[in-house]
A and B are shown apart, each in its own frame.
Chain A
């Protein structure tokens, strides 16, 4: 741009031109950035809400797990499982997917290691999921909390 400026322009005119171009460039960049931000906002507007709902979803899992051993009425258990299913389907429709990781290699982009346990499995294998992780449109909104393996001989 600078090369294009005519030599006979007075300093002040140049300065004004420069400021003007800068303002234009700033505006243009701002537009571009806000367009991207807007897209992101629309896509992830629900993120906070969904993140707040996940603990409730976890509670369903815990409730169902606690029924193992025949502590509650068969139909009641079935009913609660169905509510959980409804919940899960609604989340799936909103773009939420569970991070499946049991038996796979630990990946800190998707998982959070909570503890290590000695095992004959290969080092850093996910042995147990303590709390499921979820992604929204492929973006991790909560990493899975996992127990990972530690080689037996490595005391």
Chain B
């Protein structure tokens, strides 16, 4: 019954990523290998098998002539246009019948759209597995500089994969969509895309609601995060050679470990200013094993890659001048590509466009997320979205000891309802007060009172026996209905609160902040109250136990317990929490002694009595539980 989903696909040169709108929010679709991106690699095995993605990448060494990567560079291109590119790749690119570039692999000829279709097919089936429904439509992104033939080739790839490509959109436009910038009419957006292997800069103009025009685009097709990794590896190799006299660059295994460690160090240095590269037993020579232990600081890294980073400047300046704009005219800067997490690159983008870049959406996924949003709009999923409201603050009632017991925590989506059962705090209590509160503090008095009412006519019973069901209901307009019902008599009382909207946004924020700043103190107070409640419960139980036991326990034991109860009650009168705990512990010990004596005397008793005693034992246990779990209501 659900609407047909339109997925968004970022079909990249090295990696591809897809996302979809679920419940109004974009979600990145994980691959069947559990990754958030899929390498854009297709391999044709010698046995005629075909693998795509991570698995294809793993076998590249075994099968270099038939492992196709970077196919995006050949999409919709004529053979003459890409002759230079073919020199960098181990697989064969030939001239097709219409002069287009085609790939020769696995004993046959494939057009670039056919190869891309294989990647799209994997994405499609991963999406179907994730969503549990067939996926037939997609929005696919392309670089802003793609010409008509390249766009058509991308569309064809979709068709071959069994996807209806409802729209092809530009990657920078998708990135802006992910940040909701399409709504800002008459603004200029710079999209700074520093990927694994390429750098692109695009200047966009929002010229109508939801429409972006690419004013200019520029870049460097051979500059990316991989270059930064190589720089780090080179540094480590050089340092190690200087230090230990061993050249690691000829050791395949050591290089592999260096590669992983360099990438890890690079990522860490985006959030820390110093990291350690620790690779024990990296190699060995005649004198024994050698270990690699180096410190790398962020400033050292920045120094190493300074000239790489400087290479982004000219394309950005050209893009600005092509767009006939000055840096001051740029209203928004959007970062794309994992490498833009590097603080130095962010600074560079800020310097070049004199604007703080947008952050928040994962830069590896921002294009796919934007494509998914476009898909959601086209599917009518986003426009139709009903705005669901949430409760800005927690709602609850006051319970024994002046504690606020939350029934509906803040940020709960409304309409909603919740009920919980409470009981009485004293023997023979015939009425309870329901004090409805709003706020985040632990103690009732620190929160805002929304209303209060009494439920009367509860039949007199020992504490803990009556069951009062309190129900909170918030309707779609934010109107709160609170009712309390005695399960025994079915007597009910309720209150309707409409004033909850009386709080302004600032007030809500203030209350939240206040709660945060008082968190520790509130927690302590709450714990104190809990100890008191527990102590009170124990005194009650002890009284009940000696009363029920009657003459089964000796007078001196009885006196001991009574003394214990008195001292506990006395300490409850004071404010010393430790004293309460102490009296509680000693009373508990005495109580246990008596209980075990009661059990020991059992064999001589009649069986009927035994059952009875056992039941009593259980009652005591249960009572403790009640004290811990159910909060007793204040009279």
Chain A positions within 8 Å of B, measured between CB atoms, are 1, 18-19, 21-22, 25-26, 29-30, 32-33, 59, 62-63, 65-66, 71, 106, 108-109, 111-116, 123-124, 130-131, 139, 143, 145, 148
Q: Which residues of B contact A112 (CB under 8 A)?
A: 58-59
Q: Which residues of A contact B386 (CB under 8 A)?
A: 19
Q: Which residues of B contact A115 (CB under 8 A)?
A: 61, 252
Q: Which residues of B contact A62 (CB under 8 A)?
A: 280-281, 289
Assess the A116–B253 pair: CB atoms within 8 A. Answer: no
- Write the nearest CB–CB distance from B414 to chain A, whole angstroms: 14
Assess the A21–B1 pair: CB atoms within 8 A. Answer: yes
Taking CB atoms and an 8 Å cut-off, the chain B residues in 38-65 that contact chain A are 43, 46, 51, 55-56, 58-62
* B22 interfacial by beta-carbon distance below 8 Å: yes
Assess the B252–A108 pair: CB atoms within 8 A. Answer: no
Assess the A130–B252 pair: CB atoms within 8 A. Answer: yes
A25–B289 Cα gap in the complex (Å)? 62
Assess the A114–B289 pair: CB atoms within 8 A. Answer: no
User: Are A59 and B281 CB-contacts (below 8 A) given A113-B58, A115-B252?
Assistant: yes
A19–B23 Cα gap in the complex (Å)? 13
User: Are A66 and B1 CB-contacts (below 8 A) given A113-B58, A114-B252?
Assistant: no
User: Are A130 and B256 CB-contacts (below 8 A) given A22-B1, A62-B280?
Assistant: yes
Task: Give the residue among B2, B22, B51 with the most A Cβ atoms within 10 A.
Answer: B2
Q: Which residues of B contact A116 (CB under 8 A)?
A: 61-62
- Write the nearest CB–CB distance from B115 to chain A, whole angstroms: 18
Nearest neighbor of B260 in chain A, beta-carbon distance: A55
Residue interface bits B56-82, CB-to-A below 8 A is 1, else 0: 101111100000000000000000000
Assess the A131–B256 pair: CB atoms within 8 A. Answer: yes
A66–B285 Cα gap in the complex (Å)? 10
- Write the nearest CB–CB distance from B113 to chain A, whole angstroms: 25
A29–B133 Cα gap in the complex (Å)? 10
Q: Which residues of A contact B280 (CB under 8 A)?
A: 59, 62-63
Partner of B61, one of A19, A33, A113: A113
Q: Which residues of B contact A114 (CB under 8 A)?
A: 61, 252-253, 256
Assess the A113–B284 pair: CB atoms within 8 A. Answer: no
A145–B288 Cα gap in the complex (Å)? 24
Assess the A108–B58 pair: CB atoms within 8 A. Answer: yes
Q: Which residues of A contact B60 (CB under 8 A)?
A: 113
Assess the A29–B59 pair: CB atoms within 8 A. Answer: no
A133–B23 Cα gap in the complex (Å)? 38
Partner of B59, one of A22, A30, A106: A106
- Write the nearest CB–CB distance from A35 to chain B, whole angstroms: 12
Q: Which residues of A contact B108 (CB under 8 A)?
A: none
Q: Which residues of A contact B56 (CB under 8 A)?
A: 108
Assess the A113–B59 pair: CB atoms within 8 A. Answer: yes
Assess the A33–B252 pair: CB atoms within 8 A. Answer: no
Given contacts A62-B281, A66-B284, A123-B46, 10 further A-B contacts (CB under 8 A): A59-B280, A63-B281, A63-B289, A66-B281, A108-B56, A109-B55, A114-B61, A130-B256, A131-B256, A143-B58
Nearest neighbor of B255 in chain A, beta-carbon distance: A114
Q: Which residues of A contact B253 (CB under 8 A)?
A: 114, 130-131, 145
Nearest neighbor of A111 in chain B, beta-carbon distance: B58
A26–B22 Cα gap in the complex (Å)? 8
Chain B positions within 8 Å of A, measured between CB atoms, are 1-3, 22-23, 34, 43, 46, 51, 55-56, 58-62, 130, 132, 252-253, 256, 280-281, 284, 288-289, 384, 386
CB-CB nearest 10 A-B residue pairs: A62-B281, A108-B59, A113-B61, A66-B289, A112-B58, A108-B58, A113-B62, A25-B1, A108-B55, A130-B253
- Write the nearest CB–CB distance from A112 to chain B, whole angstroms: 4
User: Are A71 and B288 CB-contacts (below 8 A) given A22-B1, A66-B281?
Assistant: yes
Q: Which residues of B contact A63 (CB under 8 A)?
A: 280-281, 289
A145–B60 Cα gap in the complex (Å)? 13
Q: Which residues of B contact A1 (CB under 8 A)?
A: 1
- Write the nearest CB–CB distance from A24 to chain B, whole angstroms: 8
**Could you show 7 A-B contacts with beta carbons less than 8 Å apart?**
A25-B1, A33-B130, A62-B281, A71-B288, A106-B59, A108-B56, A109-B55
Partner of B22, one of A30, A124, A148: A30
Nearest neighbor of B2 in chain A, beta-carbon distance: A25
- Write the nearest CB–CB distance from A143 to chain B, whole angstroms: 6
- Write the nearest CB–CB distance from B320 to chain A, whole angstroms: 42
Q: Which residues of B contact A111 (CB under 8 A)?
A: 58
Task: Give the residue among A21, A59, A62 with the most B Cβ atoms within 10 A.
Answer: A62
Q: Which residues of B contact A32 (CB under 8 A)?
A: 132
A100–B1 Cα gap in the complex (Å)? 47
A61–B31 Cα gap in the complex (Å)? 32
A26–B1 Cα gap in the complex (Å)? 9
Q: Which residues of A contact B23 (CB under 8 A)?
A: 26, 30
Q: Which residues of A contact B43 (CB under 8 A)?
A: 108
Nearest neighbor of A110 in chain B, beta-carbon distance: B58
Task: Give the residue among B46, B51, B288, B386 with the most A Cβ atoms within 10 A.
Answer: B288
A131–B24 Cα gap in the complex (Å)? 44
A80–B406 Cα gap in the complex (Å)? 54
- Write the nearest CB–CB distance from B562 to chain A, whole angstroms: 51
- Write the nearest CB–CB distance from B380 to chain A, whole angstroms: 11
Q: Which residues of B contact A130 (CB under 8 A)?
A: 252-253, 256
A18–B51 Cα gap in the complex (Å)? 42
- Write the nearest CB–CB distance from A73 to chain B, whole angstroms: 14
A124–B63 Cα gap in the complex (Å)? 9
Nearest neighbor of A1 in chain B, beta-carbon distance: B1
User: Are A108 and B3 CB-contacts (below 8 A) given A30-B23, A66-B289?
Assistant: no
A29–B27 Cα gap in the complex (Å)? 15
- Write the nearest CB–CB distance from B107 to chain A, whole angstroms: 16
Q: Which residues of A contact B3 (CB under 8 A)?
A: 22
Assess the B51–A108 pair: CB atoms within 8 A. Answer: yes
Q: Which residues of B contact A71 (CB under 8 A)?
A: 288
Nearest neighbor of A145 in chain B, beta-carbon distance: B256
Q: Which residues of B contact A30 (CB under 8 A)?
A: 22-23
User: Are A148 and B62 CB-contacts (below 8 A) given A59-B281, A66-B281?
Assistant: yes
- Write the nearest CB–CB distance from A67 to chain B, whole angstroms: 9
Task: Give the residue among B46, B58, B284 with the most A Cβ atoms within 10 A.
Answer: B58
Q: Which residues of B contact A124 (CB under 8 A)?
A: 46, 62
- Write the nearest CB–CB distance from B281 to chain A, whole angstroms: 3
A114–B2 Cα gap in the complex (Å)? 46
A108–B43 Cα gap in the complex (Å)? 11
A147–B288 Cα gap in the complex (Å)? 25
- Write the nearest CB–CB distance from A50 to chain B, whole angstroms: 14
- Write the nearest CB–CB distance from B257 to chain A, whole angstroms: 8
A113–B34 Cα gap in the complex (Å)? 21
